[in-house]
Structure 1
Amino acid sequence: MIKTFKLHIESHFKKLLNARFLLAVSGGLDSVVLAHLFSECKIDFEIAHCNFNLRGKESDADAVFVEKLAEKLHVKFHLQNFDTEAYAQDQKVSIQMAARELRYHWFEELCQLHHLPFLATAHHAKDDLETFLINLSRGSGLNGLTGITAENDRLVRPLLPFSREEILTYAEANTLAWREDSSNASDKYLRNHLRHHAIPALEEAAPQFLTQFQKSQQHLKETALLLEDYTALLFSQIVTQSFKGYQFNIQKLKETPNTKAVLYQLLKDFEFTAWDDIYDLLDAQPGKYVATTKHRLIKDRDFLLLTEHQAKTEEVLWYVDIEKIDLNGLTLMKENVEQLTDLTKTEAIFDAEQLKFPLKLRKWEEGDWFYPFGLKGKKKLSKFFKDLKFSTLDKESVWLLCNDQDIIWVVGARTDDRYKVTPNTSQFLKFTAHYD
């Protein structure tokens, strides 16, 4: 195996030969073998071990074992103790997810602190098969069935082509010692149940199952790459970008064959899960949306609008001595002018004597109203926005300039008729808006 491993590193992970990196070692068979392989190949690395404190003295003994392994191999050792159960309870996640989040966050900190460009883990071919079956049982799409990637940013998995049988044979041939995690014997978790029962049954029925699975999965990966290329082509035809986010042209989506599959491909990297609700947005009423913790997909008239969640903006006070204010997506300036001039929608002039500073800048709320310039009587902003065909994002991004409780300018749209200049106006105050 050592010869095959060397060739694999030289062919696919040559960068590991030229830089010291971090290796995650649990103390189990796979990570111990990978540490020895790196050592035999004279590759420069450091070892990191996580004690999740889930198995009492057994967890402590694992940490001691890995520390002694590092000493034997003459490599630097890093240890971190975690209160995994407390973290899981605090974050409301499973113990498995808590352990994953804790270890990878710490690994990233170590790599940055010690200038280690890569993190190696000991995932192997059987891990890949287990992941495939788990994702298959969850109804995953194509990406979920392509399995574990050999590289992902700084993460590398050099053992991925090797089977557990090859790893075990190497360990026994070299009389290596390793630790057995007692929790691996339990069928409590789906991965263990697959490892103990489903996969052995498959291999008994088809002795070449793992080899053939690897071939099939390679075909899936090639198909996924082809699909990514096709999606990139469609993206340029269907999606446009603005400072508000992404706009998906609904008509072009509907004209594209396999609309739902295309929409999934375009949105799959944004953590959406309610796919039926997303598909329903294509024919929903404007204003309907589907949200994740980070993004919203909003149905507009002719588009689906993808935006990030915006933090709630507090009101801003504009004092008389301030000439310029920078807001979210908008810059406002004021100046004294001598007379009324022709104005664009992004400009407004008021009778300065009617204004009482500080003025207030805020976002709109349900129930807001004003007297639109040029019209008779007051009008609710919701109706005003509807008449102008404002999208949900337009309404959320608009700012209101207020004098006391009165809205005097829907910035960039319309001023209030009550605050217009008259032939008796002697002091003119001009405001100018610039959108990002």
Structure 2
Amino acid sequence: MLKPFSEHIDTNLPFLKEKSLLVACSGGVDSVVLAHLCVAADLKVTLAHCNFQLRGDESDGDEAFVKNLSYELGIGVMVQSFDTEKYAEAHRGSIQMAARELRYQWFNELLGSGEFNYIMTAHHADDDLETFLINLSRGTGIEGLSGIPVQNEKVIRPLLNFSRQEILSYAKDNNLEWREDSSNSESKYLRNKIRLDIVPQLKTLHPTFLKNFMRTQAHLEQTQSLVRHHMEEIRARLFESDGDTIRISVEKLQELKPAAGYLYELFQAYGFTEWNDVEGLLHAMSGKEVLSKTHRLVKDRTHLILSPIETGPEEVFWILDNVKELEIPINIRFQNVKKVENTGRNVIYLDKEKLNFPLQLRNWEKGDYFYPYGMKGKKKLSKFFKDEKVDVISKEKQWLLCSDDAIVWVVGRRADERFKVEDSTKEILKITLVS
């Protein structure tokens, strides 16, 4: 196994040879074999062991074993202990999920220190098959069936080309010692049920079942690569970005067939799961929205608008008479001038004596109204926005400059008639929105 492992590194992962690497080592046969192979292949490695303190003396025994393994191999070792049960309870998650989150948080800390370049895990072909079956049982797209990636940013999995049997044979042939995790034999975990009951049955169907699966998954990965490339072209054509907001033409989305498949590929990365609701937006009334944990998708007349969900309290910013420039939340400048010159959406001129300082800058609220410059009478902002065809997301982000309770400026859109410069004006205040 050492020869094909070394050839795999030379051919597919040659950049690892000059890097400082961590090997995630539980003490089980898979990670022990990976550690031995890395040392034999002259890779610069350090072991990283997590003690989750879930199995009492057995967990402490695993830690002692890994420390001794590092001594025998002549390499360094990093060890971290976790109160996994407390973490799971605090985050209301399963023990397995808590262990995974704690493990990768620590791994990221180690990688972030700059001392190590990558971390390698001992996932192998049988793990890939088990993951495939888990995803299949839960329902997934082609991405969920395409397998565990060999590389995911800083995480490398160099054993995915090898089976559990090949790893076990290498360990026995080389008289290696390892630790058995008693929890691996407990059928209460889904992965263990698949590993212990389903996979052995599947392997009886054909003597080369695992190799056939690996070939099939390679084809799926190639298909996924084609889909990804195609979807990048579609996004480039349909997604119109404006800061952190994206506008997508409903008409162009309706041209895509099959709609459900395209919508999944376009929006699944933003956390959406209610696909019937997402598809329903194409024919919904303006203002209808679908939420994920991180994003919202809103129907706005002829477009869908995708934006991150913003959290936190609404703020009001106060502006004193002596302020010359405000940079947060938007960049606006204040200047006393002698006359009115160039005006526009981003520049207004006001009769300063009509203002009561401090002014305030706030977001718009339902019920707000103002007296649009150049018009007689007042107008509700909701009606103004509708006439101006302002989309839902832009309305929520709209800032108002106010004097007491009166709107002075719908910033970047329209000034208020009541504060305009007249022949009797003695002090002119110029306000500029810096884009």
Question: TM-score scaled to structure 1, two decimals?
Answer: 0.96
Per the TM alignment, residue 323 of structure 1 is displaced from its structure 2 partner at its CA by 1.1
CA deviation vs aligned residue, 1:345-376 (integer Å, no higher than 9, x gap): 22222111111211100111122222223333
- Whichever residue aligns with residue 350 of structure 2, its letter is F
Distance (Å, rounded) in 1 between the aligned partners of 2:203 and 2:342 = 81
Tell me whether 189-198 or 304-313 shows the greater mean CA deviation. 304-313
Distance in 1 between residues matched to 2:37 and 2:220, nearest whole Å? 30
Question: Could you say what secondary structure the match of 1:16 adopts?
Answer: helix
| Offset, 1:92 | 2.0
Q: Which moved more, 1:365-374 or 1:195-204?
A: 365-374
Moved over 4 A (4+): none
Residue identity in the other structure for 2:320: Y
Distance 1:289 1:119 in 2: 41
Q: Who is 1:421 aligned against?
A: 421
1:117, 1:199 → 2: CA distance?
Answer: 35
- 1:133 — aligned with what? 133
- Tell me whether 1:288 sits opposite 2:288 in the alignment: yes
- The residue type paired with residue 111 of structure 1 is L
**C-alpha RMSD of the superposition:** 1.5
Deviation readout 1:348-407 (Å, 9 max, x if unpaired): 221111112111001111222222233333332222212222111111221100111211
| Cα displacement (A) at 1:196 | 0.6
Question: Offset of 1:342 from its aligned partner?
Answer: 5.2
- Tell me how far 1:422 sits from its aligned partner: 2.5
1:213 maps to which residue? 213
Report deviation, 1:185: 0.5
Verify: 1:229 aligned to 2:229, yes or no. Answer: yes
Distance 2:311 2:320 in 1: 24
What secondary structure does 2:220 align onto? helix
1:404 is aligned to: 404
Q: Tell me the equivalent position of 1:177.
A: 177
In the other structure, the counterpart of 2:270 is 270
Does 225-234 or 367-376 show the bigger shift?
Answer: 367-376
Instruction: Establish whether residue 315 from structure 1 lines up as the match of residue 324 from structure 2.
Output: no
Quick one: distance in 1 between partners of 2:19 and 2:373? 68
Partners of 2:211 and 2:417 in 1: CA distance: 77
Deviation at 1:72, TM superposition (A): 0.8
Query: What is the rounded CA distance, in whole Å, between the counterparts of 2:9 and 2:189 in structure 1?
Result: 33
Q: Deviations over 1:72-118 (max 9, x none)?
A: 11111111011111111222222111111110110111122252111
Q: Cα deviation per residue 1:307-341 (whole Å; 9 max; x = unaligned)?
A: 1223444111111111111234x421111122334
Contiguous gaps of at least 5 residues in structure 2: none
Distance 1:239 1:12 in 2: 35
Give secondary structure in 1 for the equivalent of 2:194.
Answer: helix
Cα distance change of structure 1 residues 244 and 301 upon mapping to structure 2, 3 Å threshold? farther
What secondary structure does 1:205 align onto?
Answer: coil
8 Å contact from structure 1 (residues 287, 391) kept in 2: no
For the Cα contact (< 8 Å) 1:121–1:155, is it kept in 2?
yes
**How far off its partner does 1:33 sit?**
0.7
> What amino acid does structure 2 have at the position aligned with 1:95?
I
> Which deviates further from its counterpart, 193-202 or 278-287?
278-287
Name the amino acid aligned to 2:203.
Answer: E
**Retained in 2: the 8 A contact 1:244–1:393?**
no
Instruction: Give secondary structure in 2 for the equivalent of 1:241.
Output: strand
Alpha carbons of 1:381 and 1:349: their partners in 2 closer, same or farther (altered >3 Å)?
A: same
Deviation at 1:244, TM superposition (A): 4.1
Partner of 1:326: 327
- Classify 1:114/1:241 alpha carbon distance in 2 versus 1 (closer, same or farther; 3 Å): closer
The separation in 1 between residues aligned to 2:254 and 2:299, in whole angstroms, is: 14
Contact 1:26 1:50 in 2 (8 A): yes
Q: Distance in 2 between matches of 1:348 and 1:112?
A: 49
Equivalence map 1:369-408=2 (5 Å): 369-408=369-408
Instruction: Give 3-state SS (helix, strand or coil) of 1:336's partner.
Output: strand
Maintained 8 Å contact 1:26/1:62: yes
d(CA) in 1 for partners of 2:114 and 2:70? 17
Q: Which deviates the most, 403-412 or 162-171?
A: 403-412
Matched residues in 2 for 1:325 and 1:293: separation? Answer: 33
1:119 and 2:119 matched: yes
SS of residue in 1 equivalent to 2:434: strand
In structure 2, the CA distance between the partners of 1:302 and 1:244, relative to structure 1 (3 Å rule), is farther
For 1:110, the equivalent position in structure 2 comes to: 110
Tell me if structure 2 keeps the 8 A contact 1:372–1:378: yes
SS in structure 2 of the partner of residue 102 of structure 1: helix
SS at match of 2:432: strand
Paired with 2:311 and 2:112, the residues of 1 have a C-alpha distance of 29
- Seen in structure 2, the aligned counterparts of structure 1 residues 340 and 7 have a Cα distance that, compared at 3 Å, is closer
- Aligned counterpart, 2:15: 15
CA distance in 2: counterparts of 1:26 and 1:276, whole angstroms: 43
Match in the other structure for 2:194: 194
Spell out, residue by residue over 1:112-156, the C-alpha distance to the aligned partner (whole angstroms, 9 max, x if none): 225211110000000000000000011110000001001111111
